[in-house]
Structure 1
């Protein structure tokens, strides 16, 4: 799955398009099921990831990350130092210059 998505990502960028991983449905309980329903994913298939693709005006800059989202999970919930018993906490706050 990872290699296939990397190829889609690289090809999209090569074509001059924008691509964005949409993580919100996975972060909020019940939203993933809504996406599966919206896209009419049949029971024999499993939705693994959601991306947005499209052409962007050359004048547009990449938007900043919305660090204020109350739904965003902290890096320490996924990043560990040495073992899973030691969460990495130094990345849990956004940089002060943002």
Structure 2
């Protein structure tokens, strides 16, 4: 879903539990710990060369806690990468 809205504007590395082949860089992880394991594994894998900005998102665009699925796309486009140390990808609506 990121390709649909952002194209090649950002580099993506996918950490997945699926063993299905993917067309973009990915790493298969164990099926434990929900998304926290994927986030931690990325940080461990890239600890010595972490980028200045990182965004962790789910593989799906919509969720029960997201009222408007376009909000996350709007949030991506509005990110002020070098202004803040942390920015949530939610709007006032969610």
Report the TM range for the smaller structure's normalisation.
Answer: under 0.3
Q: Using CA pairs below 8 Å that are at least 6 residues apart, which structure has the higher relative contact order? A: 1
TM-score (norm 1): 0.26
TM-score, normalised to structure 2, is 0.27
